[in-house]
Structure 1
């Protein structure tokens, strides 16, 4: 059942973590764009989030497993968002460096929203299956 709404949400979460970081810079320092590829930690975290989204899409037959993977992906994106906030607070405190936050810093927020919507749809499906099993 790949055509379910949670698969669409998970696909958009995959796009948000796999394709959009290449297009949008995280921040700009002295008119130089800083992309996620310039720091190994961000590459690993975005890669793990992308991998978890793919694994969650593929495991559509096991809803409980899909739900747990979605929660792990939310936690991973919260860690990524925390690193971005920490980095932005450190960069903005320096007087000689002119820094500007990029739209790429908001990608984990979009991913978290999509994953929450997917988990809500997975939970709704699981509740529906449990209620049908009770009637049998």
Structure 2
């Protein structure tokens, strides 16, 4: 389980989705207060669900097909989060001096990259097992 590279990618995706949301802010309101993922309930639920899917996918190492499907579902969830952030950033006023978009908006992109790398490694393992089965 731990010796496979996709486990490392899934663990990094879980850390990005579950841990870094408390470090980086998403945006700054015109009043000057920083909004974190914990301040917006649906964003917090999306990030924690993404982290949970990554952890569940790590422990599904015996069933590569379900691990691959969970990775794809997690990528879709992160694209939904990214769409919500794009919508929110377009609604924030960018012309005032006080309004600022935070680095936390890009966390779903980092998570998507790690999940895509994990799915690529899972697919590679599945192809290797199928090629060995053909030789028997």
TM-score by length of 2: 0.95
SS at the partner of 1:92?
Answer: coil
Unaligned ranges ≥5, structure 2: none
TM-score by length of 1: 0.95
Q: Which residue of 1 aligns with 2:5?
A: 5
In structure 2, how many angstroms separate the alpha carbons of the residues matched to 1:77 and 1:96?
A: 29
Pairwise CA distance, 1:92: 2.4
In structure 2, how many angstroms separate the alpha carbons of the residues matched to 1:39 and 1:100?
A: 17
In the TM superposition, 1:77-116 aligns within 5 A as 77-92=78-93, 98-116=98-116
Question: Which aligned segments of 4 or more residues in structure 1 are displaced greater than 2 angstroms?
Answer: 95-98
In the TM superposition, 1:56-75 aligns within 5 A as 56-75=57-76
Unaligned ranges ≥5, structure 1: none
Pairwise CA distance, 1:31: 2.5
Alpha-carbon RMSD: 1.3
Conserved 8 A contact 1:2-1:60: no
The count of aligned residue pairs is: 135
Pairwise CA distance, 1:37: 0.8
